[in-house]
Chains A and B, each alone.
Chain A
C-alpha cells in the first residue's frame, strides 16, 4: 500500500498552441513537461496562469482547442491523475473516512474502508475518522484531503497551492508529510511560496508575462523535504525571489 502505483514511469506534457480568454492570450506555443517520478513546482505572480496550466493537465478547462496533454506511454492522463486544491474540498455532510472514500463512491466501486482507515492513520487522523470535517482544524482538514488524494492511488498528483491557507508551522509539517507520502510520484505543485518549492521540488519553474513564458527550471540539490537550514534552500530562495520580482514587473508591464 505504501508503494507507488504501477505504471508510474511515464512523463506528461502539455502543449498549447494558443489558449486565450477573450482578448487575453494566456498561452502561445508553450510546452511544459512533468518528468516521471519527480516533483515539478510552478511559481509565478498571482493571475499569471499557474492554476490554468494545472487545470489543463487535470482536464478541467472546458472547450479548449489547440491544447494537447500527452503521456510518454501513449495512454491518456485521464483516470491517472489525482487533484488536490487550495481548499480541502471535503464534503461537510460526510465523515472524514467517508470523505476519503468519496472517489470510490462516485465511481460506484465498493469502498475499501480498511485502506481508508490505514491512510488516515498515516496522516495522523485515526481518532477523527468518524468526525465531520467541521470538527477539524485547517491543518487536519488538509491532511484529510491528502489522505483522500492518496486513496485515489494515482501515479500523477496535481496540487494547486494545497498548503497556502495554513499557518507556517502546520504548513511545514504537511510539506514533510506530503513529501514522504507522495515520494516517487509525478507531482505538479503550484505554489506562491518559494520556500515550499525549494523544500519539495525537483524542478522549479517561474512563470511570467502575457502570453506566458517559462524560464529554465531551477533544480535544487538533495532530496525532498529539504531542511530549512540547507544553504541551497536559502540561496535558492534569494534567487527565486529575484526571478519572481522580475516576473511581477513583466506582468505589470
Chain B
C-alpha cells in the first residue's frame, strides 16, 4: 500500500485532468491533455533533461550554500550573544525584501548564468535554515545545560556535544521547508533572465504556444522537487536516528 498509494493518487489526478479537458473542451494551446503532455515528454526528453539538469544543479548548489551559510549564522548567534543583535536584523531584512524583487538586481550583478540563480536559491533557503536551527539552539533542555555545567564542560564542548545535537530536529524542520521552497528561487531567477533551465524553457515554450512543452517542463520540475524533498527527508531521518517516528519507520 505504501507504494500503491502515491500511484493511485497520481492516477486519480491524471484522470481528473483528462475529465476537465473533455468536459470543458479547452483547446490544446490553453490546456493540453495528459496524452499530449506525455507525448511532449517523450519527444522533447533530451531538451527537458538538459534544462532539468541545469535547474536541479542550481537548486542543489543553492541548498548546499544556503544550508552552510544558515548553519554558520545560527551557530554564530547561538555561541556569541552579541552576534544575535547584529545578525538578526540582517536575517529579517533578507526575508523582508521579496526574492522576486531582488531577482533582476541579482541577474544584473551576477549575470545570466547559473550564479544568479544559485544566489536566488541560497537567499530563499538561508532564512528557514537559520531561523529553525537557531531556535533549536536556544531551546536546549535547561537540565542538560545544568548537567554539562556540573561536569565542567566548556561552552564550546556544550555546543558541540549537547546544543547542536539537541537542535538537529529543529534544523531538520528548517531544511525540509527550505528544500520545498528552493525550486522557487531557481525558477524565478530563470524567468527574470537566463538562457537555460526549466524556467527559461517554460517561458520559451509559452512564447511559441507550445503549452504541452510548458506542462512537460512543469512536470519535470515537480518530479525534481518531490524527489529532492524525499531524498533530503530520508537523509534527515538517518541523521536523526534517535527520534521516535524515525525508529519505527
Which A positions have Cβ atoms within 8 angstroms of B? 55, 58-60, 78-79, 81-83, 85, 87, 89, 91-93, 102-103, 105-108, 132, 134, 152, 158
Measured in the bound complex, the distance between the Cα atoms of B128 and A102 in whole Å is: 31
Q: Are A106 and B242 in contact (CB under 8 A)?
A: no
Q: Are A85 and B146 in contact (CB under 8 A)?
A: yes
Q: Are B143 and A132 in contact (CB under 8 A)?
A: no
Nearest B residue to A55, CB-CB? B146
Known: A106-B161, A134-B242, A134-B244. A89 touches B147 (CB 8 A): yes
Considering the complex of A and B, which 8 residue pairs feature the smallest CB-CB distances, nearest first?
A106-B153, A83-B150, A103-B151, A93-B242, A106-B157, A92-B242, A89-B143, A93-B165
Instruction: Tell yes or no: B162 within 8 A of A by CB.
Output: yes
Which B positions have Cβ atoms within 8 angstroms of A? 141, 143-144, 146-154, 157-158, 161-162, 165-166, 168, 241-244, 247
Q: Is the interface of A mostly helix, strand, loop or mixed?
A: loop
Select B157's contact among A87, A107, A132, beta carbons within 8 Å: A107
Measured in the bound complex, the distance between the Cα atoms of B105 and A205 in whole Å is: 72
Measured in the bound complex, the distance between the Cα atoms of B153 and A102 in whole Å is: 10
Q: Are B143 and A102 in contact (CB under 8 A)?
A: no
Nearest B residue to A105, CB-CB? B161
Q: Are A106 and B247 in contact (CB under 8 A)?
A: no
From residue B146, how far is it (CB to closest CB) to chain A in Å? 5
Known: A87-B143, A132-B242. A60 touches B153 (CB 8 A): no
Centre residue among B152, B158, B244, B247 by max chain A CB count within 10 A? B152
Centre residue among A58, A81, A93 by max chain B CB count within 10 A? A93
In the complex, what residues of B have CB within 8 A of residue A93's CB?
Answer: 165, 168, 241-242
Nearest B residue to A133, CB-CB? B242
Measured in the bound complex, the distance between the Cα atoms of B156 and A105 in whole Å is: 12
Centre residue among A55, A82, A87, A106 by max chain B CB count within 10 A? A106
Select A106's contact among B146, B151, B244, beta carbons within 8 Å: B151
Nearest B residue to A98, CB-CB? B161
In the complex, what residues of A have CB within 8 A of residue B148's CB?
Answer: 106
In the complex, what residues of B have CB within 8 A of residue A83's CB?
Answer: 146-147, 150
In the complex, what residues of A have CB within 8 A of residue B147's CB?
Answer: 83, 85, 89, 102
Known pairs A60-B149, A83-B147 / 10 extra A-B pairs, C-beta < 8 Å:
A58-B146, A59-B149, A89-B147, A92-B242, A93-B241, A106-B161, A107-B157, A132-B247, A134-B242, A134-B244
Measured in the bound complex, the distance between the Cα atoms of B147 and A106 in whole Å is: 10
From residue B105, how far is it (CB to closest CB) to chain A in Å? 42
In the complex, what residues of B have CB within 8 A of residue A55's CB?
Answer: 146
Measured in the bound complex, the distance between the Cα atoms of B143 and A158 in whole Å is: 14
Known: A60-B146, A132-B242. A107 touches B153 (CB 8 A): yes
Known: A107-B157, A108-B157, A134-B244. A102 touches B165 (CB 8 A): no
From residue B193, how far is it (CB to closest CB) to chain A in Å? 45
In the complex, what residues of B have CB within 8 A of residue A85's CB?
Answer: 143, 146-147
Measured in the bound complex, the distance between the Cα atoms of B244 and A81 in whole Å is: 33
Q: Are A91 and B149 in contact (CB under 8 A)?
A: no
